[in-house]
């Protein structure tokens, strides 16, 4: 029982460390990070695994803990994601289908937030919502060729 409790504590600390360095959460107060971490589940996938299928429903919001992923856009362009990058928010924000496929380039650890926890996260932590808007704005600029 003690070993299990210690393992959970260690897992929570490691998850906090990974999420605290994520671009959306970096610099937030420790109390706020603890609240956010409790909502995410850690998921590991081997290289080559399709994490998100383009055109599929939005089931969650994801943050890369370790490893690299390829975002495959319908027009054939690709984008690389690495530790600290977040993805999956567009389908949750507009309730449309996934706009791209995401595949693990390497073995990856990702942190998954279920769709039903996404809006409450943004409401409870407005700074995260603002940072997400900044990230989306940068992606739109890149897509439009403005940067």
| All structural domains of the chain | 2-143 (2.60.120.10)
Q: Is 39 exposed, middle or buried (0-12, 13-18, 19+ CB in 10 A)?
A: middle
Q: DSSP for 58-105?
A: --EEEEEEES-EEEE-TTS-EEEE-TT-EE-HHHHHH----SSEEEES
pLDDT band at 139 (very low <50, low <70, confident <90, very high): confident
pTM of the model: 0.79
Q: What is the pLDDT of residues 105-123, one digit of tens each?
A: 999 999 998 989 989 988 9
């Amino acid at each position: 029982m003690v070993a299990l409790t210690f393992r959970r504590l260690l897992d929570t600390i490691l998850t906090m460390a990974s999420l605290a360095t994520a671009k959306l959460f970096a610099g937030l107060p420790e109390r706020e990070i603890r609240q956010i971490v409790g909502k995410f589940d850690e998921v590991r996938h081997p290289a080559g695994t399709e994490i998100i299928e383009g055109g599929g429903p939005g089931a969650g919001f994801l943050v890369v803990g370790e490893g690299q992923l390829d975002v495959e856009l319908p027009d054939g362009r690709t984008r690389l994601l690495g530790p600290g990058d977040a993805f999956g928010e567009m389908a949750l924000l507009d309730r449309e289908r996934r706009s791209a496929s995401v595949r693990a380039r390497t073995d990856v650890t990702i942190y998954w937030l279920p769709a039903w926890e996404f809006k409450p996260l943004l409401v409870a932590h407005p700074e995260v919502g603002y940072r997400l808007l900044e990230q989306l704005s940068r992606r739109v600029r890149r897509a439009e060729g403005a940067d």
